[in-house]
């Protein structure tokens, strides 16, 4: 916006005399106030018409100056289809990809937590971009696993592949719920919804309870362990109980006219999304435990 306005001002200054003549021609007998209003309207229309075909270039230059030069890297480059000839190696690479995808999800969730619990509000488009990056992981891993399924696998390798596919599905659903929270964050801005200090305290407790569960899932992907899996499943039940208690609190605050209906709905949607993420973590743990 600033670039367009500044550029427009420079252009208008260079052609100031011609611009003034045009304004007078359009309204020769108008008052000074009307001439100023007409000039302002004409100026905005002119710079909009000029800027319209240049928007892609303006957007690209703005992104460069704000975020710098993007890193040139290919995500999941190690998912090389030449490794499919050795299913054991390919399965290890797939697990590595799941671990990387999970790390992306953890980073995404941290951004969401920051957005809800601090004064730092991230651009909703950036939050959705993070979700889209995780989706790209999903697409790439899914394609790789489909190719791997076509190979001549042993029974043990087939079972490991099935486990990997189930974990991928649960990670994908986790990302879906985080993207849902991105939508809620956008709605909070659009509808001017604010969480109270009490709301944030309760939400912080739920995020805090979820964090070790998420971290243990990373361990399970790297090194399946029955005890760790059972711990995750137990913690999920605790998170669900905590979610239910917090939900009753926000409903009580609404009944006491201490919060709005829109705030309560948005808050409960966040609670439910976090509980679902914990549930997907528990599902991964169950998959590992049953393997």
Report yes or no: 246 and 207 within 8 Å, Cβ to Cβ: no
Taken in order of first residue, the domains within the chain and their CATH numbers are: 2-67 (no CATH), 83-290 (1.20.58.220)
Residue-by-residue pLDDT tens, the chain, 291 positions: 566 667 767 776 677 777 677 777 777 777 777 767 777 787 777 777 776 666 655 655 655 554 444 444 456 777 888 888 899 999 999 999 999 999 999 998 998 998 888 877 767 777 778 888 888 889 899 999 999 999 899 999 999 999 999 999 999 999 999 999 988 888 887 888 889 999 999 999 999 999 999 999 998 988 888 999 999 999 999 999 999 999 999 999 999 999 999 999 999 999 999 999 999 999 999 998 887
Rounded Cα distance, 284 and 230, in Å: 11
Rounded Cα distance, 15 and 4, in Å: 17
Question: Which residue from 100, 115, 109 is spatially nearest to 130, judged by alpha carbons?
Answer: 109
CA torsion sign, 247 to 253 to 255 to 258?
negative
Rounded Cα distance, 218 and 226, in Å: 14
**Prediction pTM value:** 0.72
């Amino acid at each position: 916006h600033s670039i367009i306005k500044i550029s427009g001002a420079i252009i208008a200054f260079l052609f100031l005399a011609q611009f003034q003549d045009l304004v007078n021609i359009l309204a020769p007998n108008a008052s000074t106030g009307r001439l100023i209003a007409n000039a302002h309207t004409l100026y905005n229309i002119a710079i909009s018409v000029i800027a319209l075909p240049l928007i892609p270039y303006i957007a690209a230059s703005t992104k460069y100056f704000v975020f710098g030069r993007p890193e040139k890297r290919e995500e999941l480059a190690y998912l090389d289809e030449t490794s499919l000839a050795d299913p054991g190696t390919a399965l290890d690479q797939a697990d590595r990809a799941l671990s990387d995808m999970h790390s992306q999800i953890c980073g995404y969730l941290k951004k969401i937590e920051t957005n809800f619990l601090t004064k730092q509000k991230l651009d909703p488009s950036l939050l959705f971009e993070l979700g889209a990056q995780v989706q790209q992981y999903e697409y790439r891993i899914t394609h790789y696993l489909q190719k791997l399924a076509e190979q001549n696998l042993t029974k043990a390798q087939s079972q490991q592949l099935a486990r990997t596919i189930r974990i991928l599905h649960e990670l994908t659903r986790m990302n879906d719920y985080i993207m849902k929270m991105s939508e809620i964050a956008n709605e909070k801005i659009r509808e001017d919804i604010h969480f109270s200090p009490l709301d944030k305290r309760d939400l912080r407790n739920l995020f805090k309870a979820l964090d070790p569960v998420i971290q243990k899932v990373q361990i399970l992907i790297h090194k399946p362990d029955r005890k760790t899996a059972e711990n995750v499943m137990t913690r999920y039940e605790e998170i669900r109980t905590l979610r239910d208690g917090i939900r009753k609190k926000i409903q009580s605050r609404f009944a006491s006219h201490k919060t709005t209906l829109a705030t309560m709905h948005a808050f409960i949607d966040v609670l439910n999304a976090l509980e679902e993420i914990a549930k997907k973590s528990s599902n991964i743990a169950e998959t590992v435990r049953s393997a």
